Chain A
Amino acid sequence: GEDVEQSLFLSVREGDSSVINCTYTDSSSTYLYWYKQEPGAGLQLLTYIFSNMDMKQDQRLTVLLNKKDKHLSLRIADTQTGDSAIYFCAESTPSASKIIFGSGTRLSIRP
């Protein structure tokens, strides 16, 4: 079945890079997403990557996709206190009528 896994916690020092990792099981995934959720708020779409790409960069965000290993990562350069949030990885597939979310990674920033 479809499954998306992430580590639960990540702590980084302000100014360093953060790398959040995700693995998924469905090789027919078409889109892979990163959503950000701040406390008490909804999910904000950060970025997404189509499955035929291996990298996407958008300002401080870099998404890497290793389709062979079914591994997705989100790198946040120069991490700031405003980046503190839960980051959800998600996938969609042609056969599914929904997207599958990981359990979320809580990113905390140390001064």
Chain B
Amino acid sequence: DAMVIQNPRYQVTQFGKPVTLSCSQTLNHNVMYWYQQKSSQAPKLLFHYYDKDFNNEADTPDNFQSRRPNTSFCFLDIRSPGLGDAAMYLCATSLIRTDTQYFGPGTRLTVL
């Protein structure tokens, strides 16, 4: 089945220790998104890629970076995680920007 896969499902890191979260998709969608979601709040968009074109949200901290080496994979890098970065990180894809978004299962990040 075509799907959006996130690894790992649970990630524990130490304060200040860089961490990378992974997302892959078999939908061959052009757009890949990263969201941060805290405590059952609405997902907050961090950035998205339209193909190789990176689009950052204005209020996304510099601590968050992303890479998309090919159509299938997209990574979220947190350079120096703080306690406030503990959250669920959701990856989503869509064929085009305004099209339906399909979400992965999420990675829950814990910062010690």
Contact = CB atoms under 8 A, between A and B. Distances in A.
Contacts of A30: 98
A33 B100 contact: yes
A101 B42 CA distance: 6
Contacts of B88: 40
Contacts, number: 56
Given A97-B48, A98-B48, A45 B43 contact: no
Interface string A60-102: 0000000000000000000000000010100011101111011
Contact of A102 (B42, B100, B105): B42
Interface in B71-112: 88, 90, 92, 97-106, 108
B98 A86 contact: no
B103 A43 contact: yes
Nearest to A43: B103
Contacts of A42: 4, 6, 90, 103-106
Contacts of B108: 40
Interface string B51-83: 000010000000000000000000000000000
Interface in B35-58: 40-43, 45, 48, 50, 55
Interface residues of A, number: 25
A94 B98 CA distance: 6
A97 to B, nearest CB: 4
Interface in A41-55: 41-45, 48
Contact of A88 (B42, B55, B92): B42
B40 A98 contact: no
A101 B48 contact: no
B45 A98 contact: yes
The listed residue with most B CB atoms (<10 A of its CB), out of A42, A48, A98, is A42
Given A41-B105, A96-B97, A104-B41, 12 more contacts: A30-B98, A31-B98, A40-B106, A40-B108, A42-B4, A42-B90, A42-B106, A43-B103, A44-B103, A45-B102, A88-B42, A93-B98
